[in-house]
Chain A
Amino acid sequence: MGDVRTVNAADIAGTVERLCGEADLLLPADVKAALEKSRASEESPVGREILARLLENADIAAKESMPICQDCGLAVVFIDLGQDVHVTGGELVEAVNQGVRQGYEKNYLRKSVCHPFTRANTGDNTPAVVHVRIVPGDKLHLWVVPKGGGSENMSKVFLLTPAQGLEGVKRKVLETVEAAGPNPCPPIILGVAIGGTFDEAALRAKRSLLRELGSLNPDPEAASLERELLALVNDTGIGPAGLGGRTTCLGVFVDIKQCHIASLPLAINVQCHAARHKEAVL
């Protein structure tokens, strides 16, 4: 067992603050590369023009320090906390919320968090949604994922029967994308978790969105399903902005896990093309 390492809550808050700004202003390099690749291969002239505008938008955002999208997201924060880390000087989740508060204020990001019934805005984009996982080691790994509402609203969880099997999974993914159509700002990215339980499948679907576009899934069964689903989804013809084209989806990330003998859980997290995430290790 390693020695205990101290990480200060103020450093966590400062890091979250910085990552909120970077995430909302700078489109990740893998997303940019995927949009460029799609622009070259897209058959629809309107589709090509929209992809070009999205790339132009990312350039303007970076140059002018403007958010890529006015929906600067609900701040979802993933933390892999090394079991040999001791957080001092404050509480972990409060430090994250403090970072979100400062990051959204200082970078002129939209505050998009409200009470579910009164719809009263909390005014500082908190509370963040924080997922902590205890892992080996003495590091604290943070990911800030501002999640937009338009694509989140198109996401689904299905509890399929074992009889529905792999074909049922494919059908539900396709149905979800078809039903969403232009709504979630295509080209989209899909996080697809199969197996596990109701609650945890949704979390794995979201976590899989942290993967780099174009990266190979180490699980060959999942890798093969990713290729198949991507082709199926792009055959819908929904296209960029839903105006028709061959680029409906930039990537599918599949996560397969064992489940109960009675169940076949399936969670589909839909992500828009403004697939923002930034990470840091403390």
Chain B
Amino acid sequence: MSQAIVLTPPLRSADVAQLKAGDRVLITGTIYTGRDAAHKRIVEALQNGQEPPFPLDGAVIYYVGPSPAPPGRVIGAAGPTTSYRMDAYAPTLIQRGLKAMIGKGKRNDEVKAAMAKHQAVYLGAIGGAGALMARCIKEAEVIAYPDLGPEAVRRLVVENMPLVCVNDVNGGDLYIEGRKAYQR
């Protein structure tokens, strides 16, 4: 298996253009969380000419709604949520500079086209491994929409977050390619 490619956000087009579907990726640095309700608000803010809650240029968004941090921990369980629910919003954010999305599950054709056009990638995390994923999160702070509770936007500092490239900038799709060898 290939060696993991290390990425440190904010990312540039060249950072993500080197990735191919199936590549292992380790992210170290600052990423932001957002899921359904936060995406709706961010896109509404952009449509109204307001600033997003964090700089989108080069940003990495993790689709996660963590469980509350137990005493002595920075965060609770923090695995990915299903990404297709963010498909309605993702192209707008990609157009504004978003470089990587972390989640699980399939993306639609509009998102894939936006990734190819604006050089962005979709990275998969293991769904349902929330306790394991929490170990690579070193800092967590709510930076916007605290009323959304688990859906609030958080700034996370992660270390060696283990991911796999699912959709690359050239149309590669690990969910399609990965199945082929095992389909009967």
Contact = CB atoms under 8 A, between A and B. Distances in A.
Interface string A229-258: 000000111110111111000000000000
A182 B77 contact: no
Nearest to A58: B131
Interface stretch (A6-14, A39-47, A95-103, A157-165): A39-47
**Main SS of chain B's interface residues?**
loop
Interface stretch (B7-15, B42-50, B66-74, B89-97): B66-74
B65 interface: yes
A218 to B, nearest CB: 30
A108 B67 contact: yes
A237 B176 CA distance: 10
B105 A181 contact: yes
Given A183-B106, A242-B178, A67 B184 contact: no
B62 to A, nearest CB: 11
B3 to A, nearest CB: 15
Nearest to A243: B178
Size bracket of the B interface:
35 or more
Interface stretch (A79-87, A109-117, A137-145, A198-206): A109-117
B119 interface: no
A185 interface: yes
B6 interface: no
Given A53-B132, A150-B127, A242-B105, A236 B67 contact: no
Contacts of B174: 243
A61 interface: yes
B182 A244 contact: yes
Contact of B131 (A50, A57, A235, A273): A57
B6 to A, nearest CB: 19
Given A66-B134, A246-B182, A108 B106 contact: no
A248 to B, nearest CB: 9
Interface residues of A, number: 53
B182 A44 contact: yes
Interface stretch (A69-77, A127-135, A168-176, A219-227): A69-77
Interface of B: 1, 36-37, 64-70, 73, 76-79, 81-82, 84, 104-106, 124, 126-132, 134-135, 148-151, 164, 174-175, 177-184
Interface of A: 43-47, 50, 53-54, 56-58, 60-61, 64-72, 108-112, 119, 121, 123, 148-150, 153, 181-185, 235-239, 241-246, 272-274
29 contacts: A44-B178, A44-B181, A44-B182, A50-B126, A56-B132, A57-B132, A65-B70, A66-B77, A67-B77, A68-B130, A69-B130, A70-B76, A71-B130, A108-B68, A109-B68, A110-B76, A119-B36, A121-B148, A150-B105, A181-B105, A182-B175, A183-B82, A183-B105, A185-B104, A185-B127, A236-B183, A237-B180, A237-B183, A237-B184
